[in-house]
Each structure stands twice: as structure tokens, then as C-alpha cells.
Structure 1
Amino acid sequence: MQAGSAFRAELREGWRELAAATFGLAFGVAGYTAISSLFFLSLRQEFGWSSSAAGVAFLVLPLTACVLPLVGRLTDRFGVPAVAGLSAIAQLCAYLALAAQSGALSWYFVAFLVLNLLGSGTGPVTYTRLITRRFSRARGTALALAQFGIAGFAVILPPVVAAVIEGSGWRTAYLGLAGLTALGAAVAQILMRRDRTGDAQTRTGGEQADPRLVRQLTSEAIRSRPFWVLIAAVFALSAGSLGVVTQFQPILALRGLSMHQGGWLLSLLAGSVMASRIVTGLVLDRSAPALWAAAIVLIAAGGAAILAVAGANVVVIAAGIVLFGASVGAELDLMSFFCARQFDLRAYSSIYGLLAVGFYIGMAAGAAAFGAIFDLFGRAEPALWSSVLCFIFAAGLFATLHRR
């Protein structure tokens, strides 16, 4: 009973941090993933680009991975509000640049680089720090609720973006994203800066950490086995999930589904992600979170297998999408939870930034490989089965993680 009361008290008292992280993440750079295929399909049709061009664009993600440790270090040093605020400005500028492009792949790649590189401070590397420092007993649930904002945003956005693209064009859709970015960042900043219930600096992650201590704790983490197990698991999970997501709309189009149907199926995927995240957060706060993590990833493997054999059957595709949704974004939830569980919280963002290298390189590898396989075979089944193998490998790694 006492444990349950403490769980509820943490959620009640930490609502500002939770709300700030939820808004910040929902309108941050991570929200673009769910709708990227809608934009690229329109760009490919207008400018004559190949499917692999989308994968090549994602090769900028290893460059993003290189700066994430720096972003994490800056967050530990200067706090969440400063880093997230500047990154939101960069994200807004990137959307404006994407809206102004005229077909040059170099322009697209540079804008995509700015979005992911300079806009990375609007992602989990910063905002999850609010949660891990504020919550203990309800940490898994709070992390899930905060990143629930990304999934919630993705439920509403795909059909809206698809309708805007069909009715007013992709440029208008990009301008709309720029406006939403400004709105979300403003709300998050207000929530972080107007905390009058306690020490606002400490509760919003705005305190300054001792740089020498952070370096020492980060060095100790890198030398530990859990660090490398976690980074490998995150790599495999992100490669398997993002490869599918980046080519989601072209896969459905090849199977005879319209963009309108694709938009709603993207919403179904986002709805599945939302539900699975809440369940994930709740089970991670129970005993044996490592085994629960492995089970969640195996469910996603089953979803990818169903998608591989579904053909043009919309009902079967929908069933596969529901199960596959357990993997999309799960790498972020699991990485945040196990980073806080395995390592010292005083260096959380610095260590998280290093772990995120595996996430971004996995995204790049999955997107590029999936696009290349799609162009080579003209069908998605080989890549989908590769995703199944990635998920099984990741599940085995997560099962070995135990509390330090």
C-alpha cells in the first residue's frame, strides 16, 4: 500500500516536469519520424527521386550521433531549458528550409542535417532528464507518459498532414510543422520556468553539475558491460523499426493502398505505440524489468513477421501494425529507463547521449538498408524479415540487463 501511495504521490507532485517533457517531446524532432514517409512520397513524385534517396538522407544521422554526447554534456552542465530552447529554434528553421526547397537533393540533405543535428536538443536526451531526476518509484511510467506525447502527436498528425499535402501541398505542411514547433517549445519553457512549488532550478534540470564529476561517472559507465549491452540492443531495435517506418507509405502503395489509407494506418501505428508505451512503463516499474523489456521486443518481432506475410490484406496488415507498434520508439523508452537504472543520475544526459549513438547509427543503417533492399527487390518482404531478426537479437540483449 505504501509503495502504491508513493507511486501516485510522485506522479501528482511531479506534474510540471512531466507536462513540460510531454509537450517538449511531442513537438520536438522525434515527432517527424512518423510522418517522414508521407513527405518523401510527395517529394519523390514531384522531383523524381528514388526510394534509396530517403535512406541516403538518413546517413546524416551518424553525424547527429556524434554530437549527442556533447548535447548531453551541455544539458548536464547548463540544464534542460537552455539547451532545449536553442534546439527548438534550429528545428523551426529546418522546417522553413524544407518548405523552401526546389528539388536539389543537397538542399534537402542540409535541411535534414540541421533538423537532426541542431534540433537534437528537443529530443529525449534533454527532456527525459526532467523525469529521471524527479521520479524514482514511478520512473518507468513517467518516462512512458512523457514520451507518450510523441505517439499522441503521431496519432493526430499523419491523416492531417496527408490531407494538407493533398489539398494544399507539402510546402504548406512543412510550414505548419514550423508553427507547431514554436507552440510546443513555448509551452515547455513556461512549464519549466514557472515552477513555484520548489527549487525550480533543481526540479527542471537547470542546475549546474560539476564537470569533473560528470566526466568521471561517464568514464566509469563506458567501461562497464551494461553500457555496451544496452547500446547494442538499442542499435538493433532502432535499425529494425526505423527501416520499416521510413518506407511505410511506399510499402502500402506497392500493395495497392492509397495515401488516404496509408495515413490512417500510420495513425493506427501511432495508436499502438501509445498503448504499448503505457503498458511498457507500467511493467518496467514492476519486478524483472529486463525480462519485460525482452518480451515487449519479441511482440514487435511478431508484428514484423505478420507484415511480411500480409500481402494486400488490409485487416492482416492492420494486425501486424498493432503488434509492430511495440517497437517504434521503444528503444527510447527502454534506453531512458535502463540508463537511469544502471548508471549514476548525476551524469544521466552525458551517458544517455553516448548511448544514443547506437540509436542514431541504427536509424541510419536501417533506413539506408531498407531503402536499398526495397529498390533492389521491388518488395518489402526481405527487409521485414531482417527486422524480425534484429528484434530477436535485441530481445536477447535486454534480457541480460540487471540492476547495477
Structure 2
Amino acid sequence: MGESRVSYLGELRRNVRPLAAASLGVGTSLPLFAYTNSIFAPHLIKAFGWSRAEFALIGITMLIMLPFLPIIGRWTDRFGVRRVALIGSLLILPGFIGYSLMGGNLYAYFALFTFVLIIGSMTGTLVYTRVVAENFTQARGLALTIVNCAPAALAAPLLPLLNMLILTIGWRLSYVLLGALCCLCGLVAVALVPKTSGQVIDREAASEPVAETVATGTSRDDYRLILRSGLFWLILVATFLCLLQTQLHSSQMNLMLIDQGLTTQGAANIASIYVLGTLVGRVACGLALDRFSTPLVTFFSMIIPAIGFVILGTSFDAFTVIAVAMFLVGLSVGAETDIMPFIVARYFKMRIYNTTLGLHMIAAFLASAVGALGVSYTLARYDSFEPFLFVIAGSIVIGSTLFLLMPKARDYPKIG
């Protein structure tokens, strides 16, 4: 009875430690790398003479990543956040040291990129959002917002500084320093994770035994249960269509902005405006998810970047126009990182939370890989991002509309 009386903000105050752990862990892991990769991209291309079309193929490394996502998710359900995140935190630095030792072989870069993707996923939203889902009910959307704002909050000042650092001391040493920062922060985050993580009862189902929050069934049975759900497939397809855009705001963002006529520093400055958009999008989406219909909030949050990509596809290339377009793209990118964990916690039981989230992240990474092929093909054939921008805008509209088909009732029985 007492727990149900905890106020909205009181729930945040009560769970400062798990919130800090998840925020620091996610803030210095895979979501941050999505920002920093775009800063390194033009410098690597210049140093090694890679073409933009060749570099765009980096996105297909997501395909190699796909089998690892459900494994990492399942491990987290079975062994807990602390163990999985500790391994990821310790192994991330060797990956960045590997970056610093590259000799220009594109395939070596692809291999290192894949390694960092896999290890980064062990300290990213796939793992750490469980801490939020376990400890928050009333303010879950806001808590996810705070966690997912951490990478953007760090990236906003870091991106221009990182570019200046690369120009000053070189990209090799910059990679090492970035890796050391992420490793140190990751270890602190692991220390902050409550030791009870993985044993906390889902407060929306407080009457259920503790076992209902821990993956006690066989993997085969749980996967069968999830894959037989029509709702799971609806969310998966909608997610895929909405996230085909991923490469345009990660490894390809600076190149796309330079294609608009900006310098590398101008592109880095626009990137900071984009990051501001992600912060605004996350806060607005998180607050809305706690108060309004999940399908409606998801629809409006995911459809916004279609406008930004259409603007970028036009001939209007003034700095202000590009800044507005990227701000709109950022709004949705910020929202999507809140939405996916929230939807999984909303429609699936805690005992299969990470298993389900891992499967949904397959759609996200697969979309990124397919999008990378689309970018590479477009650049090879047209030497411009423009045609791909309009295709992406259309896919976002379709995917966003599919989210409206999700159940609206708050008492919809959870799967699992």
C-alpha cells in the first residue's frame, strides 16, 4: 500500500542511485559513440583516402551485431545488469586502443567497429534500462528520459571539443582518451547499480512472486512466447521502418552536412544543435509517455524527422535552414531511445524484459544496416544524399502510422 502512495517526483528521489547508475552507464557507452563516430569520420576519410561510398558501408557491420543482441538481452535477464555491464566496461578500452592503431585497412576498421558495437551494447540501453524498468512505475517515462539524455548532455559540449582535440593532437590519441573516459565512467556506473538488481519486483505487478521478474523459464519457451505475439511483430516492423534513417544521424551525419556545403567545424556546430534537439525530444517524450496514450505519443514522436529530412533534401542550404532540419531530426532520435524501452516494459513482463528488448534492437540494427546499403548505393549512383532523404521520409511516415495500432488501454495484459 505504501508504495502506491509514492508521488511522481518522490519515486525519482527514492531511486537516485539506480537512476545515476543507468545514466552514467548509458551516457558513456554505445549511444555516445553514435555521436562521436560522425566527428571522427571526415578525419579518417582524409587520412586513409577512403571514398564516402566505401565508408557508408560501415553500417552493414550492424548485420554482424544482430545475433549478439538477444544473447546480451538474455544474459541480462539471467545474470543481472552488474555482471554484464562490468564485462562491457572492461573491454571497451581495448576497442578504442585498436582504433588508434589502425593502418588504413577499411576491413580492419569494420572489424574494430563491430567489436565496439558488441561491447558497447553490454553497457548501453539494452542492459541499463532494466534498472529503470525495475525501480520505476509512475515516473518511468521521465526516468528513461533522464537516462537517455545523458549521452546527448555529454555529447553537446564534447563534439566541438573532440573535433578541436583531433585537430590539435590527432585522431589516434583522441581515440585513446575517449576510450579511457568511457571505461572509467562505466566502472563507476557498475559500482552504483543496486545489488538487488534482477531481484526487484515489478511494481506494476507487486502481487506476483519475485520469480516473475527473473528469467526462470527456458530460452526456447520464452522466445516462442514472444515470437508468437502479433504485437511484438507490429512493433518490430514499425521500428524497422522508422529507423532506416539511423546512418544519417550517426556515422554519416557530418558527411551529409558537409554535402550541404558546410565545413567540418560548421558540421560539428550543427551537430550540437542536433544534440539539443535530442534533449528536447527526450524530455517531451518522457513526460508525455507518463501522462498520455502510448500509441499516440509514439506516433507524434517518431514522425517528426520526416519533415527534417524533406527540408535537407531541398535546395535550401542556408546554415539556419540546415540547423532547423537537424533539430527536427534530433527531436525524434531523442524520443526513440525513450520509447523502445518504455514500450517493452509497458506490454511485456519484467522477467522477459531484456530478452524482448534485445529482439527489438535487432530491428533497429538491421534497419541501420539496410539504411547503410541505401546510403552507399545512393552516393555511388548520384554522388548525393538527396534521393535517399526523400525515401527515408516516406518510410518514417509509414512506420509511425503503424504504431497507432498498438493497444491503448493502460490495463492491457502484459505478455509473458
In structure 2, the partner of 1:305 is: 310
Q: Look up the SS of the partner of 1:180 in the other structure.
A: helix
Residue 92 of structure 1: how far off its partner (Å): 1.5
Q: Look up the SS of the partner of 1:396 in the other structure.
A: helix
Q: Distance in 2 between matches of 1:309 and 1:243?
A: 16
Residue 87 of structure 1: how far off its partner (Å): 1.2
Residue 274, structure 1, aligned to residue 279, structure 2: yes
Matches within 5 A, 1:124-163: 124-163=125-164
Q: Is the 8 A contact 2:246 2:367 kept in 1?
A: no
**Structure 1 residues not aligned, in runs of 5+:** none
Q: Distance in 1 between matches of 2:47 and 2:201?
A: 44
Residue 239, structure 1, aligned to residue 236, structure 2: no
Q: Distance in 2 between matches of 1:255 and 1:305?
A: 13
Q: Is the 8 A contact 1:236 1:393 kept in 2?
A: yes
Q: Look up the SS of the partner of 2:243 in the other structure.
A: helix
Matches within 5 A, 1:178-197: 178-193=179-194
Q: Look up the SS of the partner of 2:67 in the other structure.
A: helix
In structure 1, the partner of 2:199 is: 202
TM-score normalised by structure 2 residue count:
0.90
Match 1:339 to one of 318, 341, 344: 344
Q: Distance in 2 between matches of 1:188 and 1:303?
A: 35
Q: Describe the superposition over 1:272-323 as per-residue Cα deviations: whole angstroms up to 9, x where unpaired.
A: 1011101000001112121111011122211221222253211111111111
Q: How many residues align?
A: 399
Q: Is the 8 A contact 1:233 1:394 kept in 2?
A: yes
Residue 391 of structure 1: how far off its partner (Å): 1.1
Match 2:402 to one of 397, 400, 404: 397
Q: Distance in 2 between matches of 1:210 and 1:71?
A: 13
In structure 1, the partner of 2:27 is: 26
Match 1:354 to one of 347, 356, 359: 359
Moved beyond 6 Å, runs of 4+: 204-208
Moved more, 152-161 or 366-375: 366-375
Residue 164, structure 1, aligned to residue 165, structure 2: yes
Say if 1:160 and 1:375 are closer, same or farther in 2 by CA, change over 3 A: farther
Moved more, 202-211 or 218-227: 202-211
Q: Distance in 2 between matches of 1:393 and 1:343?
A: 24
Q: Describe the superposition over 1:134-154 as per-residue Cα deviations: whole angstroms up to 9, x where unpaired.
A: 111111111111111121122
In structure 1, the partner of 2:64 is: 63
Moved more, 216-225 or 375-384: 216-225
Q: Is the 8 A contact 1:290 1:399 kept in 2?
A: yes
Q: Is the 8 A contact 1:76 1:350 kept in 2?
A: yes
Residue 13, structure 1, aligned to residue 18, structure 2: no
Match 1:386 to one of 378, 388, 391: 391
Q: Distance in 1 between matches of 2:146 and 2:252?
A: 27
Q: Is the 8 A contact 1:240 1:386 kept in 2?
A: no
For residue 397 of structure 2, what is the amino acid of its counterpart? I
Q: Distance in 2 between matches of 1:209 and 1:42?
A: 46
Q: Distance in 2 between matches of 1:154 and 1:45?
A: 23
For residue 282 of structure 2, what is the amino acid of its counterpart? R
Q: Is the 8 A contact 1:151 1:273 kept in 2?
A: yes
Please identify which structure carries the higher helix content.
1
Q: Look up the SS of the partner of 2:122 in the other structure.
A: helix
Residue 203 of structure 1: how far off its partner (Å): 5.0
Q: Is the 8 A contact 2:73 2:126 kept in 1?
A: yes
Q: Distance in 2 between matches of 1:88 and 1:62?
A: 23
Q: How much identity, in percent, do the aligned residues show?
A: 29
Moved more, 247-256 or 257-266: 247-256
For residue 306 of structure 1, what is the amino acid of its counterpart? I
In structure 1, the partner of 2:205 is: none
Matches within 5 A, 1:108-127: 108-127=109-128
Residue 4 of structure 1: how far off its partner (Å): 9.4
Q: Is the 8 A contact 1:21 1:127 kept in 2?
A: yes
Q: Is the 8 A contact 1:18 1:146 kept in 2?
A: yes
In structure 1, the partner of 2:206 is: none
